[in-house]
């Protein structure tokens, strides 16, 4: 049943909505508008004169090999983070879904990493992976592997992928666990009666029934990896060595804040904004269709 309250007049409803509208305006619409405007301007080297250049920043961007490299890097990074964090989360969720002793504690502990700030999480990983003081880094070197993510680009990428994926496992775990628990027990039991066991039952029954959850998480994880990992990368590698871990979001920061190229940096953030809008639209459309049936 739909519950609806009818307000008389307009003052009260406006008062209810106003705080959210103000937040949206000051923290989203205004900066977004400024970014869009700035993306179509160019400043001289001293920031004295600003000139309107239309779409030139964008066309420059897509003909810049450094930018295209960063896109490629971001795709690899996002896909790796999404796959790794979802796979680990799904495995943990399958275990947590079973009847085991201490299940409550196990679940609670798994949710903790989500509550940790990205920079703190990154510091934890620094302490683990550092070639000299980190025990993983130290151990790898003891095994004869030349581990130094501050010098080796591939190792640096691996480190930021690990740290970013680890932080997202909790979130994915919660959704996968909820998804698993919403599968009717009887359906799983019917499969058992039909003779399906272990991996086969998971592959043919459980996993297909998790499809809506999985799709939702793919979008969320890609968005997270692509746009929400600045803090982790900043604390762990600062985009380096070289540009080895400079994803699109990190590049916005480097170009805008460090290199003071506001026009290009703004153009890049507008591109990212469009990407987020696109991903969100895909997700809403798909979820909308799911709920209609």
Partner 1 sequence: MMASLKLEGLRKSFGATKVLHGIDLELASGEMLVIVGASGCGKSTLLRLVAGLEEPTAGRIVLDGRDVANLDPAERDIAMVFQNYALYPHMSVFDNMAYGLKIRRLSTAEIRKRVEEAADMLGLRPLLDRKPRQLSGGQRQRVAMGRAIVRHPKLFLFDEPLSNLDAKLRVTMRAEIKRLQRRMGVTSLYVTHDQVEAMTLGDRLLVLHQGVPVQLATPMEVFERPADIYVAGFIGAPAMNLLPARLAAGGTAAQLDAGPLVPFADGRRAGADGMKLTVGIRPEHVALVAEGGLALQVDLVEPLGSETVLIGRLPDGEMLSIKLAGAAPPEETVHVAIPPPNLHVFDAATGLRLEPRG
Span of 131-139, 186-194, 220-228, 254-262 interacting with partner 1 by CB under 8 A: 186-194
Q: Quick one: which of 72, 103, 146, 200 contacts partner 1 (CB under 8 A)?
A: 200
Instruction: Using the minimum distance from each CB to partner 1, give the nearer residue, 112 or 199.
Output: 199
Instruction: Using the minimum distance from each CB to partner 1, give the nearer residue, 47 or 104.
Output: 104
Neighbours of 240 (CB within 10 A): 17
How many residues bind partner 1, per CB under 8 A?
Answer: 19
Q: Quick one: which of 7, 91, 142, 189 contacts partner 1 (CB under 8 A)?
A: 189
Q: Give 115's DSSP letter.
A: G
Instruction: Using the minimum distance from each CB to partner 1, give the nearer residue, 196 or 275.
Output: 196
Which of 144-164 are b and which e, b meaning 16 or more Cβ less than 10 Å from the residue's Cβ? eeebbbbebbebbbbbbbbbb
Q: Quick one: which of 186, 199, 288, 292 contacts partner 1 (CB under 8 A)?
A: 186
Q: In this structure, are residues 217 and 180 in contact, taking their beta carbons and an 8 Å threshold?
A: no
Span of 129-137, 196-204, 241-249, 264-272 interacting with partner 1 by CB under 8 A: 196-204
Instruction: Using the minimum distance from each CB to partner 1, give the nearer residue, 62 or 207.
Output: 207
Task: Check residue 197 for interaction with partner 1 (CB under 8 A).
Answer: yes
Neighbours of 79 (CB within 10 A): 16
Q: Quick one: which of 36, 116, 196, 279 contacts partner 1 (CB under 8 A)?
A: 196
Task: Check residue 288 for interaction with partner 1 (CB under 8 A).
Answer: no
> Between residue 166 and residue 185, which ones bind partner 1 under the rule CB under 8 A?
184
Q: How far is the CB of 163 from partner 1 (least distance, A)?
A: 36
DSSP-assigned states of every residue in 127-144: HHH-TTT-HHHHHHHHTT
Rounded CA-CA distance 203/191 in Å is 12
> Between residue 201 and residue 220, which ones bind partner 1 under the rule CB under 8 A?
204-205, 208-209, 211
Q: How far is the CB of 195 from partner 1 (least distance, A)?
A: 4
Rounded CA-CA distance 174/110 in Å is 9
For residue 241, whether the previous peptide bond is cis, meaning omega lies within 30 degrees of 0, is yes
Phi and psi, residue 52, nearest 5°: -80, 125
Q: How far is the CB of 292 from partner 1 (least distance, A)?
A: 12
Residue (of 234, 275, 270) closest to 254 by Cα position: 234
Phi and psi, residue 71, nearest 5°: -60, -50
Rounded CA-CA distance 10/144 in Å is 72
Q: Quick one: which of 1, 11, 48, 193 contacts partner 1 (CB under 8 A)?
A: 193
Instruction: Using the minimum distance from each CB to partner 1, give the nearer residue, 44 or 99.
Output: 99
Question: What dihedral do alpha carbons 116, 21, 283, 88 form, nearest 10°?
Answer: 10
Q: Give 3's DSSP letter.
A: -
Question: Of how many residues is the chain composed?
Answer: 293
Instruction: Using the minimum distance from each CB to partner 1, give the nearer residue, 153 or 212.
Output: 212
Q: Quick one: which of 3, 49, 289, 293 contacts partner 1 (CB under 8 A)?
A: 293
Q: Quick one: which of 103, 146, 192, 203 contacts partner 1 (CB under 8 A)?
A: 192
Binding residues for partner 1, rule: CB under 8 A, are 184, 186-187, 189-197, 200, 204-205, 208-209, 211, 293
């Amino acid at each position: 049943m739909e519950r609806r309250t009818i307000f008389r007049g307009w003052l009260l409803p406006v008062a209810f909505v106003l705080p959210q509208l103000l937040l949206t305006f000051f923290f989203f619409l205004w900066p977004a508008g400024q970014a869009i405007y700035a993306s179509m301007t160019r400043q001289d080297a001293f920031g004295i004169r600003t000139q309107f250049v239309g779409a030139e920043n964008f066309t420059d961007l897509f003909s810049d090999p450094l930018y295209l490299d960063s896109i490629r890097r971001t795709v690899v990074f996002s896909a790796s983070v999404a796959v790794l964090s979802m796979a680990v989360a799904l495995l943990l969720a399958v275990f947590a879904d079973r009847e085991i002793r201490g299940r409550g504690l196990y679940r609670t502990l798994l949710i903790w990493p989500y509550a940790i700030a990205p920079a703190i999480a990154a510091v934890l990983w620094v302490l683990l992976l550092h070639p000299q003081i980190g025990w993983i880094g130290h151990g790898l070197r003891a095994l004869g592997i030349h581990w130094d993510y501050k010098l080796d680009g591939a190792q640096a990428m691996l480190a930021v992928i690990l740290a970013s994926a680890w932080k997202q496992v909790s979130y994915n775990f919660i959704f996968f666990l909820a998804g698993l628990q919403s599968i009717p027990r009887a359906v799983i039991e019917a499969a058992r009666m039909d003779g399906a066991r272990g991996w086969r039952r998971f592959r043919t029954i459980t996993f297909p029934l998790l499809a809506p959850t999985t799709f939702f998480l793919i979008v969320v994880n890609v968005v997270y990896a692509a746009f929400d990992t600045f803090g982790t990368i900043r604390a762990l590698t600062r985009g380096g060595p070289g540009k080895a871990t400079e994803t699109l979001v990190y590049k916005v920061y480097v170009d805008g804040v460090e290199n003071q190229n506001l026009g290009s940096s703004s153009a890049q953030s507008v591109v990212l904004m469009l990407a987020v809008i696109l991903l969100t639209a895909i997700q809403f459309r798909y979820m909308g269709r799911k709920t209609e049936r």
